[in-house]
């Protein structure tokens, strides 16, 4: 079974400050990890992924995430937050599903609020 934990329901940060949204995972075998963002009344938008290679992956809108195998974490980061980054962020994990199927398991989401 695969699972994702996002321990914070909400993260508040001042504009211009660095932000971190936390994610830990559990999966059999190598993890494929993703971050998605959801703006109000919109679908999920893909931000970035870790499949293999460098532990620090860069994605859209200046976001990056660091894969840490020993801590089974994949925290989302941005050096300088913008008010427009305020949204709901989902971490997701995938393992190769026997017989096919890119089954993604999502975390419960973290609401990011960036204030002036």
Residue closer to other proteins by CB (options 37, 81) is 37
Q: Which stretch binds other proteins (CB under 8 A): 20-28, 62-70, 77-85, 105-113?
A: 105-113
Task: Report how far residue 3's alpha carbon sits from residue 90's, in angstroms, rounded to the nearest whole number.
Answer: 13
If binding means CB under 8 A, how many residues of this protein chain bind other proteins? 26
The span from the CA of 115 to the CA of 14, in Å, is 5
Binding piece for other proteins, criterion CB under 8 A, among 23-31, 61-69, 75-83, 96-104: 96-104
φ, ψ dihedrals at 97, nearest 5°: -90, 120
Q: How far are the Cα atoms of 1, 10, 14, 80 from residue 19, in angstroms, in the given order?
A: 30, 12, 9, 7
Considering the complex, state which of residue 5 and residue 15 has its C-beta at the smaller distance from other proteins: 5
Residue 60 touches other proteins, criterion: CB under 8 A = no
Q: Which is nearer to other proteins, 20 or 105 (CB)?
A: 105
């Amino acid at each position: 079974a695969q699972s994702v934990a996002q321990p914070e329901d909400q993260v508040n940060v001042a504009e211009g400050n660095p932000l971190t949204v936390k994610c830990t995972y559990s999966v059999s075998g190598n993890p494929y990890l993703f971050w998605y963002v959801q703006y109000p009344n919109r679908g999920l938008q893909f931000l970035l992924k870790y499949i293999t290679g460098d532990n620090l992956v860069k994605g859209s809108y200046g976001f990056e995430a660091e894969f840490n195998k020993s801590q089974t974490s994949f925290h989302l980061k941005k050096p300088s937050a913008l008010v427009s980054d305020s949204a709901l962020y989902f971490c997701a994990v995938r393992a190769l599903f026997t017989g096919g199927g890119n089954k993604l398991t999502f975390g419960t989401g973290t609401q990011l609020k960036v204030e002036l």
